Amino acid sequence: MTILEQGTHPRFALGESTTTPSSLWLKVLAERFNAPELDIISTGEGIRRHVAPTSGVKSNFGFLYHEKGAEAMTRSWQAVIPQAEFSEADLGPPASSEMHYYRQDIDAYLWSAALGAGAVGRSGSKVADLTFRDDGATIETTAGETIRCGFVIDASGYNSVVAKKLGLRDESPRMRTNSRAMFTHMVGVKPYEEVDSEPEPLAPWSQGTLHHFFDGGWMWVIPFGNFSGSRNKLCSVGLSFDNKRFPRDPEVSPEAVWKSFLEEYPAVGRQFTEAVPVRPWIATDRLQYSSSKCVGGRFWLTAHAAGTVDALYSMGNINTFQSLATGVKLVLEAFEKDTFTEEHFQPLQRLTDNLLRFQDRIVYGSYAGFRAPELLELWFTLWGLTDGARVREVLKPIVRYARTGNMTDLTSYDACPEAVFTGFGHLTEVITAEEALDLLDEWCDIMHELEEGRASVSETKERLREAMESDERFDMHVDEITTGLGEHPWLFEPLRRHGVKAYSTAFLSPDEVLGLGVDEQGDEGPVKAAQPAWLDERKAFEEQAHELRTELENHREHAKNLEQELSAYRTNATALEQDRDAWMERATRAESQPPPPSSFDRVKKILRNLGRREG
């Protein structure tokens, strides 16, 4: 295997924020394809120990809405991330399953790992020409090197060599979203909790991926030095705009756009009063692009080579890792069976199309919702619900595999990979992926009428609410979701079997937690041994929870008694204060009156009177 890299490592790249689905898919890849390096970069602890202490921790998604000219945020939401894996030995930084990738170090580590596994690396090699043959392809580099191969995997992103060679780029992207961005790395970015303390978040804003929302776009703030012991003080900062409403003016520099934005939004500006870019701003035109197809008999365009949407909600890494789980399997099968046909790779084509369509619809509705916080909050519930569904669909095979050790349990998504990505909350099986996408399109149509000025914000909000709550299959009570979002950290139960540590089951029902991988027919027959251990663990967990609830009630009763005593003390204090005031009033009156004559003065007066009489 030969890897051609146009640049050299270390290098600047985006795709810095992970999510629970992306980390879980990394674990699937690591286990299925015997790539322990991918498991290492799936946790903050692994990166700090084996790569470098330069990637940031991520304990939450933070979202703040700002009105133009306002001195403080208008509304805030926070989703605390369930800890998918942790270690008691990791006592330095906050417990964090997710992280902020410092891509310079992460990419260099993976490059070195690939070379160590036997790949041939060619950094600083630019493709001059590419020719496909019946039995593979021939690549000519600008350095004059000729490389013959059986298959081409193109991971070159927007500048896809294969897409340009074969004319695969769609003239008009197949996305509803139309956005642009500008971004850089900075030093001196203040933690937001230091410049705006209300309301107090569940977790510090600075220990998560922070999103600043405003009418017309959003900003990301991704710190890398947000834990004790970090050796990286940089912070990734990007500003994205609705390209239809605020198109880029090539005559205005990114620096001028940035300065003007901070002046218009002072609540955001306070976070950047001391911030300085360490590299030039990069400004884009429209971000979105797509391809007519991403696979052929001898090539595969990976996720970002096939198309992209927007960085909102950090979905890019999920798309990449999930499509790798299917794509690598199909490529290996093609070599094993010599089946290099486009039809062989169609499951990967359908998966890629579905992932991009799903991401685009969620992001598009958010851009339309940026017009008002109450509308954004309503649409925002869909991100939480669908992200939970994505976790479920990858977590279930992981849980089964953790209990059985059977690879067929881990790779169950092979049956229909294009369907393993979406749904709503805990009810992912009630409709197919295509039905879910069609439903999202219907809801996007409602937002589109607002975008075109054919409906008001209030009308759109009511129509969207009615549409979201109309299907009883989803049991979608949006008020409960929006009220509860971020108010309580999600809980998890640990899974410990076959050396697999503490997978989050926050998104699985209790029956699923107990039943997945239990009493199922595997390669070695029914698996029954795990059930008693898990029932005991469940029982211990419930007993501990009961003890904690009892202790909490005792504390509440004690607090109630203390409050009553405090009230009595306050009443007594009030009476004493009234007595004090009365005595002070009497003393004041006494001081204002002339003093009574003394006895000596009276004797002198009598003698004077006697002297007058004698005279």
Going by pLDDT thresholds of 50, 70 and 90, the confidence category of residue 597 is low
What is the structure's pLDDT at 91?
Answer: 35
* Backbone torsions φ then ψ of 439, nearest 5 degrees: -65, -40
Residue 442 C-beta-side C-alpha neighbours within 13 Å: 14
Gap between the Cα atoms of 419 and 321, Å rounded: 15
Residue type, 312: L
Task: Please list, in sequence order, all residues whose beta carbon lies within 8 angstroms of the beta carbon of residue 112, skipping any fewer than 6 positions away.
Answer: none
Cα–Cα distances (Å) from 91 to 39, 95, 227, in that order, read 20, 8, 11
Tell me, which fold does domain 2-369 have in CATH? FAD/NAD(P)-binding domain (3.50.50)
Going by pLDDT thresholds of 50, 70 and 90, the confidence category of residue 390 is confident
Residue whose entry in the numeric block shows the structure tokens 């549409």: 467
What is the structure's pLDDT at 448?
Answer: 97
What is the structure's pLDDT at 516?
Answer: 74
Instruction: Name the average pLDDT for the chain.
Output: 85
Comparing 156-170, 281-295, 408-422, the range with the smallest average pLDDT is 408-422
Query: Coil, strand or helix: which one is 58?
Result: strand
Most confident of 117-126, 457-466, 474-483: 457-466
Most confident of 148-157, 390-399, 416-425: 148-157
SS3 string of 239-293? EEEECCCCCCCCCCCHHHHHHHHHHHCHHHHHHHCCCEECCCCEECCCCCECECC
Q: Give the pLDDT mean for 5-24.
A: 87
Q: Dihedral through CA 77, CA 82, CA 85, CA 86, nearest 10?
A: 70
pLDDT digits (tens, 9 = 90+) for 176-203: 999 999 999 999 999 999 998 877 887 8
CB 320 within 8 A of CB 23: no
Of 314, 307, 181, nearest to 239 (Cα)?
181
What is the structure's pLDDT at 593?
Answer: 76
DSSP assigned state of 497: B
Of 195, 167, 477, nearest to 296 (Cα)?
167
pLDDT digits (tens, 9 = 90+) for 268-301: 999 999 999 999 999 999 999 999 999 999 999 9
Going by pLDDT thresholds of 50, 70 and 90, the confidence category of residue 508 is low
User: H or E element: which one contains 300?
Assistant: strand 299-301
Rg, C-alpha atoms of the chain: 33
Looking at per-residue pLDDT, the higher value among 224 and 45 belongs to 224
What is the structure's pLDDT at 194?
Answer: 93
SS3 content of the chain, % helix, strand, coil (to 5): 50, 15, 35
CB 246 within 8 A of CB 257: no
Gap between the Cα atoms of 580 and 61, Å rounded: 55
Of 223, 197, 192, 199, nearest to 209 (Cα)?
223
Going by pLDDT thresholds of 50, 70 and 90, the confidence category of residue 514 is low
What is the structure's pLDDT at 524?
Answer: 44
What is the structure's pLDDT at 202?
Answer: 79
Going by pLDDT thresholds of 50, 70 and 90, the confidence category of residue 584 is confident
Query: Of how many residues is the chain composed?
Result: 615
Cα angle 37-38-39, degrees, rounded to a multiple of 5 = 90
Burial class (CB in 10 A: 0-12, 13-18, 19+), 13: middle
**Is pLDDT of 530 > 80?**
no
pLDDT digits (tens, 9 = 90+) for 234-279: 999 999 999 999 999 999 999 999 999 999 999 999 999 999 999 9
**Is pLDDT of 598 > 50?**
yes
Taking residue 49's Cβ as centre, other Cβ atoms within 10 Å add up to: 14
Task: Please list, in sequence order, all residues whose beta carbon lies within 8 angstroms of the beta carbon of residue 363, skipping any fewer than 6 positions away.
Answer: 177, 179, 309, 310, 312, 313, 315
